[in-house]
């Protein structure tokens, strides 16, 4: 992949989820395979973007989300 990120399909997209790390609930807006390298060596992680109750989106590891 030459891109910085790529969208990934997920069964919980547009559904209510909870971030187990923070306890915040919201709607899963996107799952992205994102290049988070800072040193030039590629490092890709899957991040879940959740729209919380305030309307602002935050990211967490995909493994941290569970359906509500």
Contact 46, 5 (CB under 8 A): no
**Per-residue pLDDT for 62 more than 60?**
yes
Query: Would strands 57-61 and 44-51 be described as parallel, antiparallel, or unpaired?
Result: antiparallel
Structure tokens, 8 = 């990934």
Tell me which of 16-20, 42-46, 52-56 is least confident: 42-46
- Residue partners of 52: CB distance under 8 A and separation at least 6: 24, 25, 26, 58
Identify the CA nearest to 14 among candidates 32, 31, 29, 33. Answer: 29
Which domains does the chain show, CATH number per domain? Answer: 5-67 (2.30.30)
What per-residue confidence (pLDDT) applies to 1?
Answer: 45
What per-residue confidence (pLDDT) applies to 42?
Answer: 86
pLDDT digits (tens, 9 = 90+) for 24-41: 999 999 999 998 888 888
């Amino acid at each position: 992949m030459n891109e910085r990120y790529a969208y990934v399909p997920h069964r919980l997209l547009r559904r209510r989820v909870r971030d187990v790390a923070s306890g915040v609930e919201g709607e899963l807006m996107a799952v992205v395979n994102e290049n988070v390298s800072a040193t030039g060596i590629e490092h890709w992680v899957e991040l879940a973007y959740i729209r919380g109750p305030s309307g602002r989106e935050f990211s967490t590891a995909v493994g941290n989300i569970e359906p509500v």
